[in-house]
């Protein structure tokens, strides 16, 4: 039996000791001395969040399918264990072998959201790996970052040896084979980085020089190494059925955020919402076949004992074979106590029919995401939802037995007016009225509950809104108060509830999402002053961040509220994410003109993703 890195005495003093002991169902155990490459896969957040991340499960399964690679896992120690590890000088360890991460060949860190950046530094610090890539010697792991935030890696450039841009099933084995060959030939760390830079999708920050104009904008971004590419091209799986999925997902001992089997039905999205980074960088839409999904659904449920399966995608309703898949799952598993969850559905008659088959209507609430309160603003953001469709969906839902509705909106989007803001309350009221007007008293299950939530808008890289200015904290709160005030005027006020996201957190997210290399110093300063677990409101310390910006002489407004010209060079422009800058400029103009762009199945808008040779771009040819 393996020796645990933490003593019983320590485990008894922390919450949830199961976060640190490994040995879960389907956990892969190998003899480390019999493999050529040891890879520590990290999600920089608490175990319960990291264990719910689909990407890590896919890569964990994929890497461990090879006999010469051992992939293990590591997550951020929680706030109670962190100080103990520092005090007792316990190096951060993996769950499988309980061995120090610093002894591994690779440390791969998933960058899922910007507010985990200080946790990235916590991981490196506790692992006793120098924070700066430039300070790492030959005996240190190669630190590689990937995931959605890697599409603007520059704020973290100093801390990573390399970034992987795109989907992991494509060139990861080529990269690991390159490392193996370099090691066998006695090559140095630098030798490997130079070879890795030649592989498509791999970005080595040390091999690029940055210059700035006097006004602080980016002047140039140029390779300083012969093997470094001018453009880093996103890597994409063109044929989704050509890659293996997860046959035996990890099953934790404790309850985690996603305590279920997750079946990814497709990647990408046809909808083209102009605020949505995922909808742009994951283009084109690519589907798994029905037979592929049937096979893996069966295998995963059998190997885990889970009682719920969730169909994962950005817009499940757009999956061509959804009806066939749902009917298969109902026929195969519903009588065996397996629940089916369908997030990301558009609310139409078919979706409601499907949901009524798989959900307990009395217990569940329906989720709509209008994103904006007025039709004008929905056209600006290219949401593709009319008020008529929203109210018809609500009406159908109420007639089918639902009486709880959640609505998601975004405040602070480009061109937004007071009328658009107040429209959030008016639309919520109309939905409540639909219930009381259409459902007879004797058929109602109590009052209708309409909960409207608004997040605050962040203009993300690789979206048509990347040129937009962002609101200040004060402007965000002023807009939320306008909406709240309008809610109080509504006749059905007691059936309505309104809440909103934290403005301070949103402003910081904006800087980290749109930042350049100069922001790295702020992240490090904030971390050294105690910032950690920033995505958890109880631990977020805005004053620490504000002090760090001041100490580093970095102006928040430069990255958030400043207007950008169409010819400005962005910190992420060296990455080809599949959508061309010309397409994004056209869509930015369409937004200002309140012009709707058809979805990808209605008409090709020439975004550039057709070059990948697969998916929705080719299904009609």
Residue 34, classified by CB atoms within 10 Å of its CB into exposed (0-12), middle (13-18) or buried (19+), is exposed
pLDDT score recorded for residue 71: 98
The C-alpha atoms of residue 170 and residue 236 are separated, in whole angstroms, by: 7
3-state secondary structure of 177: helix
Measured distance CA(259)–CA(253) in Å, rounded: 10
Which backbone phi and psi does 394 adopt, to 5 degrees?
Answer: -65, -45
Q: Closest by alpha carbon to 260, among 298, 305, 309, 297?
A: 309
Residues forming beta bridges with residue 340, ordered by sequence position: 309
Q: How far apart are CA 136 and CA 131, in angstroms?
A: 8
Q: Hey, what are 321's tokens?
A: 């074979």
Tokens 């008659």, residue located:
349
Tokens 């076949």 label which residue? 289
- Going by their DSSP bridges, the two strands 202-203 and 69-75 should be labelled as unpaired
Q: What angle do CA 129, 134, 140 make, to 5 degrees?
A: 35
Can you list the residues of the chain whose pLDDT is less than 70? 1, 349, 360-363, 620-621
Domain limits, CATH 3.30.750.210, in the chain: 250-359+578-621
- The predicted pLDDT at position 537 comes to 94
Cα 72 from Cα 66, distance rounded (Å): 13
Output the six-digit token pair for 178: 């390159």
CB 500 within 8 A of CB 480: yes
CA-derived radius of gyration, the chain:
25
- CA–CA dist 547, 347 (Å, integer): 45
CB neighbour class for 577 (10 Å; exposed up to 12, middle 13-18, buried from 19): buried
508: phi then psi, degrees, rounded to nearest 5 = -65, -40
Query: How many angstroms from the chain centroid is the CA of residue 599?
Result: 22
Q: What is the pLDDT of residue 417?
A: 98
Q: Please give the CATH number for the structural domain made up of 250-359+578-621.
A: 3.30.750.210
Report the pLDDT value the prediction gives residue 621, as an integer from 0 to 100.
59
* Residues facing 267 on adjacent strands: 286
Q: Where are the alpha helices (DSSP H) in 381-518?
A: 387-400, 418-438, 473-488, 503-514
The C-alpha atoms of residue 95 and residue 73 are separated, in whole angstroms, by: 6
CA distances from 280 to 171, 288, 576, 579, 582 (A): 21, 19, 12, 7, 13
- Residue closest to 182 by CA, chosen among 392, 9, 37: 37
- Which part of the chain has CATH 3.40.50.280? 8-233
CA atoms within 13 A on the CB side of 490: 26
The answer to whether residues 122 and 109 touch, using CB atoms and an 8 Å cutoff, is no
- On whether the CB atoms of residues 576 and 165 are closer than 8 A, the answer is no
Please state whether the peptide bond connecting residue 14 to the residue before it is cis, i.e. omega within 30 degrees of 0. Answer: no
The Cα 289–Cα 301 span in angstroms is: 18
CATH placement of domain 8-233: 3.40.50.280
User: How many helical (H) and strand (E) elements, i.e. helices and strands, does the chain have?
Assistant: 20, 19
């Amino acid at each position: 039996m393996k020796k645990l890195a933490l003593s019983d005495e320590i485990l008894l003093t922390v919450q949830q000791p199961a976060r640190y002991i490994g040995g879960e169902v389907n956990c892969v155990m190998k003899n480390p001395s019999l493999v050529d490459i040891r890879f520590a896969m990290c999600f920089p957040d608490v175990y319960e969040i990291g264990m719910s991340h689909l990407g890590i499960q896919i890569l964990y399964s994929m890497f461990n399918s090879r006999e010469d690679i051992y992939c293990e896992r590591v997550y951020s120690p929680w706030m109670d264990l962190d100080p103990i590890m520092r005090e007792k000088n316990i190096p951060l360890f993996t769950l499988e072998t309980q061995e120090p991460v610093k002894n591994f060949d690779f440390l791969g860190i998933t960058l899922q959201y910007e507010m985990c950046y200080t946790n990235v530094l916590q991981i490196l610090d506790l692992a006793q790996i120098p924070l700066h890539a430039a300070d790492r010697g030959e005996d240190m792991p190669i630190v590689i970052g990937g995931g959605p935030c890697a599409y603007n890696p520059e704020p973290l450039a100093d801390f990573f040896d390399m970034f992987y841009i795109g989907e992991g099933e494509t060139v990861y084995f080529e990269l690991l084979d390159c490392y193996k060959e370099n090691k066998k030939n006695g090559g140095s760390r630098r030798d490997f980085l130079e070879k890795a830079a030649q592989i498509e999708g791999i970005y080595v920050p040390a091999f690029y020089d940055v210059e700035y104009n006097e006004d602080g904008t980016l002047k140039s971004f140029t390779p300083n190494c012969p093997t470094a590419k001018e453009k880093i091209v996103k890597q994409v799986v063109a044929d989704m059925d050509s890659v293996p999925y997860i046959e035996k997902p990890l099953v934790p001992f404790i309850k985690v955020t996603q305590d279920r089997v997750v079946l990814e039905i497709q990647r990408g999205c046809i909808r083209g919402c102009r605020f949505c980074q995922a909808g742009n960088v994951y283009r084109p839409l690519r589907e798994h076949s029905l037979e592929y999904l049937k096979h893996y659904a069966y295998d995963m449920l059998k190997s885990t004992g889970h009682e719920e399966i969730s169909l994962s995608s950005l817009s499940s309703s757009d999956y061509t074979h959804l009806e066939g898949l749902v009917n298969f799952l109902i026929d195969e598993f519903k009588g065996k106590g397996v629940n089916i969850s369908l997030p990301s559905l558009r609310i139409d008659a078919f979706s409601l029919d499907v949901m009524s088959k798989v959900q307990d209507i009395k217990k569940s609430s329906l989720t709509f995401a209008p994103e904006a309160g007025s039709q004008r603003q929905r056209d600006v953001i290219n949401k593709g939802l009319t008020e008529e469709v929203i109210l018809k969906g609500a009406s159908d839902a109420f007639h089918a037995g639902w009486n709880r509705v959640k609505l998601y909106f975004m405040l602070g989007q480009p061109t937004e007016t007071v009328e658009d803001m107040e429209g959030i309350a008016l639309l919520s009221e109309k939905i409540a009225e639909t219930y009381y007007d259409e459902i007879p008293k004797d058929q109602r299950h109590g009052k209708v509950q309409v909960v409207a939530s608004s997040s605050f808008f962040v203009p993300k890289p690789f979206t048509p809104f990347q040129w937009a200015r962002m609101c200040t904290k004060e402007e965000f709160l002023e807009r939320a108060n306008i909406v709240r005030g309008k809610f109080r005027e509504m006749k059905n006020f007691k059936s309505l509830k309104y809440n909103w996201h934290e403005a301070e957190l949103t402003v910081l997210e904006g800087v980290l999402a749109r930042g350049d290399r100069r922001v790295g110093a702020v992240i490090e300063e904030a971390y050294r002053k105690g910032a950690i677990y920033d995505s958890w409101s109880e631990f977020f310390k805005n004053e620490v961040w504000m002090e760090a910006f001041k100490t580093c002489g970095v102006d928040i407004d430069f990255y958030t509220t400043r207007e950008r010209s169409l010819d400005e060079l962005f910190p992420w422009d060296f990455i080809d994410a599949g959508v061309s800058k010309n397409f994004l400029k056209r869509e930015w103009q369409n937004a200002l003109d309140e012009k709707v762009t058809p979805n990808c199945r209605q008409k090709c808008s020439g975004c550039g993703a057709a070059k990948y040779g697969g998916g929705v771009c080719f299904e009609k040819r």
